[in-house]
Homo-oligomer: A and B are copies of this chain.
Amino acid sequence: MSRPAPAGRSRRDPEGRRRQIVEAAAQLIAEVGVAGLTHRLVAARAGVPLGATTYYFTDLDDLSAAALRHLTDRMEADLEEWAAVLNASADLPATLAELTAEYLADRGRALLETELYVAAARRPELRPLAMRWDDGLTRIIGACADPAAARAVAIFLCGVMLYALVRDEPVDLPALKTSLRTLLT
């Protein structure tokens, strides 16, 4: 019989250790970028000994890849929520615009995603991760609209993200709605 929860708790929990490290790395990527990641930074943030970061991951690349994968997983979970909201929506473009504006209000998230794209551009093994986002978006929008239009919208929203990243003002919601309405009809 396997013990599902170790009695002593915490001690000897490789799975948990790994997760701690990955989450710390993910946080840090938003702050300092993939290129700014270091073992020491991650270890400090995760509250684990330095050795742990090299014990669980062969490489810094390996570590950053794991962090980006973790991020993508979370993003995909977010997408499921979007799917639910969009399916229940009477006005697809408006709802989508609102979700987007809300999403981009968190600069960290936009930064993270852009980091992922840039990293993927240079490291082919990361491309599947980067693609997951706009493919996912295309998929859930495609469930309520024309597939070609859905792809165009996914691409457009990438642009909105990049555009918002270098401006201080929040997203221009009315304009966004208009654009989406145009693309989706």
Query: When the two chains form their complex, are residues A134 and B120 in contact, meaning their CB atoms are under 8 A apart?
Result: no
Can you name the residue of chain B whose Cβ is closest to the Cβ of A185?
B182
- How many Å lie between the Cα of A152 and that of B175 in the bound state? 8
A24 on the B face (CB < 8 A) = no
A74 on the B face (CB < 8 A) = no
**Residues A165 and B117 in contact in the complex (CB < 8 Å), given A152-B182, A175-B148, A175-B151:** yes
Query: When the two chains form their complex, are residues A117 and B155 in contact, meaning their CB atoms are under 8 A apart?
Result: no
Q: Using CB atoms and an 8 Å cutoff, list the residues of chain A in contact with chain B.
A: 33, 35-36, 107, 110-111, 114-115, 117-118, 120-122, 127, 130-131, 134, 148, 151-152, 154-163, 165-167, 175, 178-179, 182-183
